[in-house]
Amino acid sequence: MVLRPIWTRLKQHRAAFGEFSYYMFMFAASFPFVITFNTCVLELLKIRGPSMYPFLNSEKDQTTRKDVVVNFKYNAQYSLQRGMIVTFWNPWSPEVMTVKRIVGLEGDVVKTRSPYPYSTVTIPQGHIWVEGDGGEHSLDSNYYGPISTNLIIGKVTHLVWPLHRAGRVRWEEYADKIRNQK
């Protein structure tokens, strides 16, 4: 007898198992794919807090709904550019995911803000400088210094919700407007 995959045999003998059992098996069989896709490729992420205001959560004072974005995780640590919005593990609380804009890449000299102890910093190899668009309302590299690129989880590529602002995140438009370039 030729061995066939179990789902092919189930499909042929659907009547014996019943429609409900067949669909339950197919639903359960899709879990590994969905979990792997969500862990390694992309996920939907809800943005909370004012640190990326006005670019994200621009309606924070008018509504309680949060922006939903696509977080593209595949090869996230590579091809980083100034102006990109990235997600990363917070250096102070490693269980917390944080969303910020890249302000400086390795080798850049960046002007810092308070409470960073120095007025300028040179970004070391394998690190980036991130800041929130919200200015003083953001816990960013001005608090914890340059972050390692190994902490980066993903790149924010699309805005999904609210629908009237949905579309691709055009980070390139912000690369020239970053105040910290020296």
Residue 100 bears catalytic tag = yes
* Cα gap 41→37, rounded to integer Å: 5
Amino acid at residue number 57: N
Q: Any idea which residue has 């070391």 for tokens?
A: 124
CA atoms within 13 A on the CB side of 127: 16
Catalytic residue among 51, 60, 73, 138: 51
Contacts of 71 (CB under 8 A, 6+ apart): 42, 43, 44, 45, 87, 153, 154, 155, 156, 157
**Catalytic pick from 100, 138, 141, 155?**
100
- Confirm whether 141 is a catalytic residue: no
**Catalytic amino acids?**
51, 100
